Amino acid sequence: MELVWHLTFLYLLVRPTNLQLLINVKNQGGDVMQENITANVSEDTIILEFLRLDGVFISQLVDFTNEVEAMKVIIPAEEELGQSGHQTLCFLTHGAQADFIAPDAMAKLRQKNPGTVRVAEEDKGWRQTTLTAWAGRVTRLLSPAAARHCRAANDHVYLRTADLARWPPRPGMEQSYSSAVTAFPERALPAEGEGQLAISTCANTTDDTDCICHLEVCVNWYPCGLKYCKGKPQGGLSYRCGIKTCRRCYRYHFYVQRRASCAGLS
């Protein structure tokens, strides 16, 4: 069934209200999951959430004002490995990489057929990110919304130090955020001009020592652009008439001090 959406543009004296959408999405394996998308116009943020079939909960926040994207991953314990509780991780990247439509445009969406199972129109492929530092207190300096989003991750919030130069300093800050983060050990960082590390991946070691962990997340459906239709011949002007939808996968590489911390990942 064709994906049909309406963008309702009412000329009101107030900004558009916030929006929450529940979307039935088919992944590449043919399984159907439900995504929850919330647009907060007053905070200029979007949050997309879903529960994977393996029990892993994904929550992706995009803070448009502060140009911060935060991918939160909650991994349930593996009882057969003697684990208890759950593990929460959060990955911060510069928001320019995100290609969601803006919250005010998202808040105007109306889903015509809520029960329809959606499939993205375009596959954006994989985005690989090698994290190089623990974010520490810089998270709340970069984005209050991301700080709330990642609070449960505690000291498991990661970022790329190369991204720090892309965020302008906030009032009262130094010229960079570098002093507010903790870099990974040098052996866990690729040497300049080289892709090899002096440390093994967690998947290739059996010792409970430090290693490089890998985590993959696929967002199978999200609004990534607006569509425009041509007006009547008399006017000839184009107008917003729908959305373009995309799929994107993320692969995160990050340092852990013990291989056991990578359990359930790879």
Sign of CA dihedral 199, 202, 208, 210: positive
Q: Give Cα separations from 225 to 38, 46, 236 (angstroms).
A: 16, 14, 22
Residue 67's SS3 state is coil
The tally of domains found in the chain comes to 1
Q: With a cut of 50, say whether residue 4 has pLDDT above it.
A: no
Which two tokens mark 221? 């459906």
Res. 92 pLDDT band, cuts 50 70 90: very high
Tell me what pLDDT residue 50 has: 96
Residues 44-52: contacts with CB within 8 Å, 24+ apart?
Answer: 44/102, 44/103, 45/103, 45/145, 46/100, 46/103, 46/106, 47/149, 48/100, 48/219, 48/222, 50/25
Cβ atoms < 10 Å from Cβ of 64: 18
Question: What's the pLDDT tens digit per position in 97-108?
Answer: 778 999 988 888
**Percent of the chain topping pLDDT 90:** 52
Q: With a cut of 80, say whether residue 85 has pLDDT above it.
A: no
Unique residue bearing structure tokens 């510069």: 94
Which of 106-115, 135-144, 188-197 is predicted most confidently? 135-144
Question: What's the pLDDT tens digit per position in 167-179?
Answer: 887 765 555 677 7
Q: With a cut of 60, say whether residue 2 has pLDDT above it.
A: no
C-alpha to C-alpha distance for 54 and 145, rounded to whole angstroms:
27
C-alpha to C-alpha distance for 46 and 20, rounded to whole angstroms:
10
C-alpha to C-alpha distance for 83 and 75, rounded to whole angstroms:
11
pTM, two decimals, is 0.86
| Listed residue (130, 133, 187) closest to 157, CA to CA | 133
C-alpha to C-alpha distance for 127 and 214, rounded to whole angstroms:
13
Sign of CA dihedral 50, 52, 58, 64: negative
Query: Which structural domain range is residue 64 located in?
Result: 5-262
Question: What's the pLDDT tens digit per position in 210-234?
Answer: 999 999 999 999 999 888 887 765 5
C-alpha to C-alpha distance for 30 and 119, rounded to whole angstroms:
10
